[in-house]
Chains A and B, each alone.
Chain A
Amino acid sequence: MSKPNREKLKNDINSVPTDVQPAAITLDGAVVTFSEGETIYDVAHRHGIDIPTLCYDPRLDAFGGCRLCIVELEGTRNPVASCTTKAAPGMDVRTATGEIEKHRKVLLEMVASENRELDVNPLRGYASQELTALVERYEARTGRFNGKRSGASNTVDENPFILRDYDLCISCYRCVRVCAEQEGDYAISVMNRGFDTQITTEFNGILKDSACTFCGQCVQTCPTGALADKKALRAVNLPGEIEKTRTICPYCGVGCSVDMLTKKDRLIGIHPAMDGPANQGALCVKGQFAFDFVQHPDRLSTPLVRGGDGQLRGASWDEALDRAADGFRAVREKYGRHSIYGVASGRAPNEAAYLMQKFIRAGFGTNYIDNCSRA
């Protein structure tokens, strides 16, 4: 086989784009290309320009509410929101002029003025430090624009998972949008209007009586900690630094990536991994909140078998498996092979489920095999 003609390859590659001019905009003086459908924010983000936002979550439809992402666009009278404005050929965009940066600072001072506090514990949620970080970046902790505060914390919603501390709410509606767009639950919405806007559920009730599935997505996208992870907050006073360890949620076969939060050797909470290939930040109630079993004192650490006195006692795996095999054998001899029925756990991946049905079919000779995920 002859060696590939590198020169020819290079020519071929170069010849492709020469007849199509890629679409380009000018971004802070540099000419950059973009693909159809990208917003100015997307293009800027791709080029490492950190435009501030509070209502933006890359998984959600652009909303255009916080207006921090405004940029100057040549030829328009007013700045435009970069998150909702699609890039178009020839646009000349300036992302951080003195004027724009001043408006951003004023907006952040205004937002800061409506909340009870700015500094919240990071255990409140994945995105809970976003507002604080921007206030620091823009030196907006000035105490200007004081006045009435917005939002009212819901103190009657006594569920074990989600703290609804709306005194800290800035009405970015990320929770409402993630619930609708990502989860399809439509459990939360917006009540009233203007400064009296309040995040709510049907009839302003508690989450348990709503369509909420307690997946915790609203908590993890909240940029102020107004929605907070009650289970993680149990560990506020536990000594030690918060450490994050990437792993896969053990519950079902989807394989959602999660970051386990630990203090020393204690598992204290779960963050969804926004870059998890299977879940892109999504989790369900089990993956998000049901981790107490891991370090629960009642958790079994050895097999148990029942002694002659009817009491359970610890045993080795060999002993336990022998006892189980004896039991199956006895049942089969007495009642026949179809008296045995296997249910594979939804937590098992495909491969394990396959082995399970093989075990039931080949081992016991019955077709009575099912999977709990079928229900």
Chain B
Amino acid sequence: MKTPTNQELIKRWYREPAPLLPLLHAFHDRDGFISDESLRDAAVGLKIPLADLFGIVTFYHHFSRNPPGQIAPRVCMGPVCCLEGGKQIIEELKDEGAQAMPCAGRCDDFVPVLKGHCVSVGVSSRTLEARPPPLPPRNPGGIEECVFAEIRTPGRYSIEGYCRTGGYEGHRRAVKEMQPSEVVALITDSKLAGRGGAGFPTGLKWKAVAEAPGTPKTVICNADEGEPGCFKDRAILDFDPHAVIEGMTLAAYATGAARGFIYLRYEYPGTFNVLERAIAEAESAGFLGEEVLGSDFSFRIHLRRGAGAYICGEEGSLLNSLEGKHPFPRNRPPYPVTHGYENLPTAVNNVETLASVPHILRNGANWYQGLGMNGHAGTKVISLSGDIQKPGNYEVPFGLPLKTLLYDWAGGARENRSIQSVTMAGLSGGFLAGEDLDLTLDETSLRSKGSMLGAGGIIVFDDSRDMVEAARSAMAFFAEESCGKCFPCRIGTQRLTERLNGKAGPMELGKWIGEVKDIGSAMKAASACGLGMAAPLITDSLMKYFPERVAQHVEP
């Protein structure tokens, strides 16, 4: 096949919605890096100032500007992988230009190494192999699931497999028999809330979009799963992509949206292929496209691949990224429900949220609510990883005791070890330890400990781990991923990292704690988005649960 020219690639993309990322990926795939000439052509073709375009490309850490570029191995150095061989693999692959990448969402099957569009996995460079990711383990109690109810059925990823167990039934029923407002009401009654971490009631969000003036409206599936220790969205999309597509079409029907995007993180190239195929299948089957199932409802989904930026999971950054702008978060208000993609009403929903919707359509609001425990509604997928016998994605009823998950479901610590601490919300909820591990998995319980459930990543550290080092590595991640827009986060994550790695800061404990606390509280109060507000939970919880280790670190 003839190699396409810059102009051919620009012509392919410039009329498409959100063309910048796919065009840059097309250059990246063709040349292995993005040349000056390609950027000059793209700036003219897409009418983006060249200086801005250059700045945007430097923002994403997977876009290369020079050879070896795209084919240089990216080795996961997430909180689990750096303890399980990541460092060694980087060393072993040094000659190929190996570089570290932040958590790549394979914490249940480490260590992922990304080369171009290929992920291989292994604990040393000699054992690296491309293998399918693990299925979510079943819970031992046989507790009823929602998102995972059918995910283990073989062939579920294909449209035939999906339809075999009731797939697209909710979609068909909604389009043929229900008013959009009835879909909104059903989701509102189910008490489904955002599963990406913010926990905003989904029904309310859809209602706001439906009622907001301005068209076309947009539904966005946020699949930029970047939180270290979170790999649930990958599992859902890999094994049950049609559930997410059906969820998106229902969201579109309920809100009156005509276009949809899936914003998928760069680190999931296999998932990209799964989704591309699934979208094509759904289009051929008439579930997507013009006049769906003979109705006057039309909806298309466009798949967009990110390029390596944790902040693009923040919805303002995600919207700017799609629009081809510098991916800084947006000031809120206004919110995306009224001023989202291209400043028009937009529902941004997490993968897990959308995947729950078809089940709720099929089984009803009361059924979904009833899946929770002790008055909490619904379920949450927890990505459990680290020093634990059986890591993996577990769908838990809200309100399940943490210790039930850790010990009864996942087998507890490894042999001869005990659990020292766990993180919450990936890294964003900080650490929990000691008596505070006696809690239930729901926001009320977690907030009472000063933490949060977030996207549902829990990383376990056993008694062999150095918690100051764990905190340093977590803070270094936030510093690396801070976008640089707001002062408290840009400077704060840097200063806290320096204080945790001992490279700067007072050598006297009282002063050290004073500085770390002051930086942390300014970050929590003043940061422009969740990254800067959450990062100091790492230092706060470190000082709370491990004061002796902190003292030893500062005054050895």
B1 CB–A CB distance under 8 Å: no
Chain A CB within 10 Å, residue with most, of B309, B482, B491, B521? B491
CB A76 to nearest CB in B, in angstroms, measures: 11
Stretch of A63-71, A337-345, A346-354 with 4 or more beta carbons under 8 angstroms from chain B: A63-71
Q: B464-498 toward A: CB 8 Å interface, digit per residue (1/0)?
A: 00000000000000011111111110111111001
Is B519 in contact with A145, judged by CB distance below 8 angstroms?
yes
**Chain A stretch 199-258: residues in CB contact (< 8 A) with chain B:** 200-204, 210-211
Q: Which residue from B481, B505, B524 sits with its C-beta under 8 Å from A78?
A: B524
Point out the residues of chain A lying under 8 angstroms from B498, CB to CB. Answer: 147-148
Q: Contacts A79-B525, A202-B54 known; A193 to B491 CB distance under 8 Å?
A: no
Stretch of A122-130, A184-192, A264-272 with 4 or more beta carbons under 8 angstroms from chain B: A184-192
Tell me, in angstroms, the Cα distance from A79 to B482 when the chains sit together: 20
Q: Which residue of A lies closest to B506 (CB)?
A: A144
Is B526 in contact with A200, judged by CB distance below 8 angstroms?
no
Stretch of A102-110, A288-296, A299-307 with 4 or more beta carbons under 8 angstroms from chain B: A102-110
CB B446 to nearest CB in A, in angstroms, measures: 16
Q: Which residue of B lies closest to A186 (CB)?
A: B49
B282 CB–A CB distance under 8 Å: no
Tell me, in angstroms, the Cα distance from A187 to B505 when the chains sit together: 38
Point out the residues of chain A lying under 8 angstroms from B480, CB to CB. Answer: 194
Q: Which residue of B lies closest to A199 (CB)?
A: B55
A367 CB–B CB distance under 8 Å: no
Point out the residues of chain B lying under 8 angstroms from A102, CB to CB. Answer: 518
Q: Contacts A147-B495, A197-B484 known; A191 to B58 CB distance under 8 Å?
A: yes
Q: A74-108 toward B: CB 8 Å interface, digit per residue (1/0)?
A: 00001101001110000000000001001100110
A170 CB–B CB distance under 8 Å: yes
A111 CB–B CB distance under 8 Å: yes
B331 CB–A CB distance under 8 Å: yes
Point out the residues of chain B lying under 8 angstroms from A70, CB to CB. Answer: 525-526
B83 CB–A CB distance under 8 Å: no
Q: Which residue from B55, B311, B333 sits with its C-beta under 8 Å from A189?
A: B55
Q: Contacts A197-B490, A203-B54 known; A145 to B525 CB distance under 8 Å?
A: no
Is A110 in contact with B519, judged by CB distance below 8 angstroms?
yes
CB B317 to nearest CB in A, in angstroms, measures: 11
CB B469 to nearest CB in A, in angstroms, measures: 19
Q: Which residue of B lies closest to A197 (CB)?
A: B484
B527 CB–A CB distance under 8 Å: yes
Could you say which interface size class chain A belongs to? 35 or more
Is B49 in contact with A189, judged by CB distance below 8 angstroms?
yes
B118 CB–A CB distance under 8 Å: no
A357 CB–B CB distance under 8 Å: no
A62 CB–B CB distance under 8 Å: yes
Point out the residues of chain B lying under 8 angstroms from A188, CB to CB. Answer: 51
Q: Contacts A189-B326, A200-B51 known; A81 to B495 CB distance under 8 Å?
A: no
CB B464 to nearest CB in A, in angstroms, measures: 30
Point out the residues of chain A lying under 8 angstroms from B481, CB to CB. Answer: 193-194
Point out the residues of chain A lying under 8 angstroms from B483, CB to CB. Answer: 193-194
Could you say which interface size class chain B belongs to? 35 or more
Tell me, in angstroms, the Cα distance from A191 to B326 when the chains sit together: 10
Q: Which residue of A lies closest to B532 (CB)?
A: A67
Residues of B at the A interface (CB closer than 8 Å) are 36, 39, 49-52, 54-55, 58-59, 309, 311, 326, 331, 333, 479-488, 490-495, 498, 503-505, 515, 518-519, 521-522, 524-528, 533
Tell me, in angstroms, the Cα distance from A190 to B484 when the chains sit together: 9
**Chain A stretch 125-150: residues in CB contact (< 8 A) with chain B:** 144-148, 150
Question: What would 19 A/B residue contacts be, using CB atoms closer than 8 Å?
Answer: A65-B487, A70-B525, A107-B522, A107-B526, A110-B491, A110-B495, A145-B505, A145-B519, A146-B504, A173-B485, A180-B52, A188-B51, A190-B55, A190-B59, A194-B484, A195-B482, A200-B55, A203-B39, A211-B49
Q: Contacts A106-B518, A147-B503, A197-B490 known; A65 to B533 CB distance under 8 Å?
A: no
Point out the residues of chain B lying under 8 angstroms from A103, CB to CB. Answer: 521-522, 525-526
Identify the 5 closest CB pairs spanning chains A and B, nearest first. A186-B49, A197-B484, A189-B55, A194-B482, A147-B504
Tell me, in angstroms, the Cα distance from A171 to B36 when the chains sit together: 25
CB A61 to nearest CB in B, in angstroms, measures: 10
Tell me, in angstroms, the Cα distance from A145 to B488 when the chains sit together: 12
Is B331 in contact with A81, judged by CB distance below 8 angstroms?
yes
CB B319 to nearest CB in A, in angstroms, measures: 16
Is A111 in contact with B491, judged by CB distance below 8 angstroms?
yes
Point out the residues of chain B lying under 8 angstroms from A150, CB to CB. Answer: 490-491, 494
Is A111 in contact with B51, judged by CB distance below 8 angstroms?
no
CB A186 to nearest CB in B, in angstroms, measures: 3
Tell me, in angstroms, the Cα distance from A110 to B36 when the chains sit together: 36
CB B263 to nearest CB in A, in angstroms, measures: 18
Q: How many A-B residue pairs have CB under 8 A?
A: 153
Tell me, in angstroms, the Cα distance from A102 to B54 when the chains sit together: 38
A42 CB–B CB distance under 8 Å: no
Q: Which residue from B487, B519, B521 sits with its C-beta under 8 Å from A67?
A: B487
Tell me, in angstroms, the Cα distance from A328 to B171 when the chains sit together: 88
Q: Contacts A64-B528, A70-B526, A147-B505 known; A195 to B494 CB distance under 8 Å?
A: yes
The binding surface of chain B is classed by DSSP as helix
Is A194 in contact with B494, judged by CB distance below 8 angstroms?
yes
The binding surface of chain A is classed by DSSP as loop
Point out the residues of chain B lying under 8 angstroms from A146, CB to CB. Answer: 504-505
CB B393 to nearest CB in A, in angstroms, measures: 30
A167 CB–B CB distance under 8 Å: no
Point out the residues of chain B lying under 8 angstroms from A106, CB to CB. Answer: 518-519, 521-522
Is B519 in contact with A195, judged by CB distance below 8 angstroms?
no
Point out the residues of chain A lying under 8 angstroms from B326, CB to CB. Answer: 189-190
CB B299 to nearest CB in A, in angstroms, measures: 33
Chain B CB within 10 Å, residue with most, of A107, A114, A204? A107
Tell me, in angstroms, the Cα distance from A145 to B498 when the chains sit together: 10
Q: Which residue from A67, A99, A203 sits with its C-beta under 8 Å from B488?
A: A67
Is A62 in contact with B331, judged by CB distance below 8 angstroms?
yes
Is B487 in contact with A110, judged by CB distance below 8 angstroms?
yes
Q: Which residue from B54, B479, B525 sits with its C-beta under 8 Å from A200?
A: B54
Tell me, in angstroms, the Cα distance from A54 to B487 when the chains sit together: 10
Tell me, in angstroms, the Cα distance from A191 to B518 when the chains sit together: 29
Q: A351-371 toward B: CB 8 Å interface, digit per residue (1/0)?
A: 000000000000000000000
Point out the residues of chain B lying under 8 angstroms from A200, CB to CB. Answer: 51, 54-55, 58
Point out the residues of chain A lying under 8 angstroms from B524, CB to CB. Answer: 78
Tell me, in angstroms, the Cα distance from A35 to B234 when the chains sit together: 48
Is B51 in contact with A186, judged by CB distance below 8 angstroms?
yes
Q: Which residue of B lies closest to A211 (CB)?
A: B51
Q: Contacts A65-B528, A70-B525, A106-B518 known; A193 to B52 CB distance under 8 Å?
A: no
Chain B CB within 10 Å, residue with most, of A62, A64, A99? A64
Is B528 in contact with A67, judged by CB distance below 8 angstroms?
yes
Point out the residues of chain A lying under 8 angstroms from B525, CB to CB. Answer: 70, 78-79, 99, 103
Q: Contacts A103-B525, A148-B494 known; A64 to B518 CB distance under 8 Å?
A: no
CB A316 to nearest CB in B, in angstroms, measures: 54
**Chain A stretch 158-200: residues in CB contact (< 8 A) with chain B:** 170-171, 173, 180, 186-197, 200
Tell me, in angstroms, the Cα distance from A62 to B332 when the chains sit together: 12
Q: A50-63 toward B: CB 8 Å interface, digit per residue (1/0)?
A: 00001000000011
Q: Contacts A103-B526, A186-B51 known; A110 to B504 CB distance under 8 Å?
A: no
Q: Which residue of B lies closest to A78 (CB)?
A: B525
Is A189 in contact with B52, judged by CB distance below 8 angstroms?
yes
Q: Which residue from B58, B59, B486 sits with its C-beta under 8 Å from A65?
A: B486
Tell me, in angstroms, the Cα distance from A187 to B58 when the chains sit together: 16
Q: Which residue of A lies closest to B311 (CB)?
A: A193
Tell me, in angstroms, the Cα distance from A191 to B58 when the chains sit together: 6
Tell me, in angstroms, the Cα distance from A90 to B521 when the chains sit together: 28
Point out the residues of chain A lying under 8 angstroms from B515, CB to CB. Answer: 144-145
Q: Contacts A110-B487, A194-B484, A194-B490 known; A189 to B51 CB distance under 8 Å?
A: yes
Q: Which residue from B59, B488, B493, B504 sits with its C-beta under 8 Å from A195?
A: B493
Point out the residues of chain B lying under 8 angstroms from A107, CB to CB. Answer: 487-488, 522, 526
Tell me, in angstroms, the Cα distance from A78 to B522 when the chains sit together: 11
Chain A CB within 10 Å, residue with most, of B49, B484, B515? B484
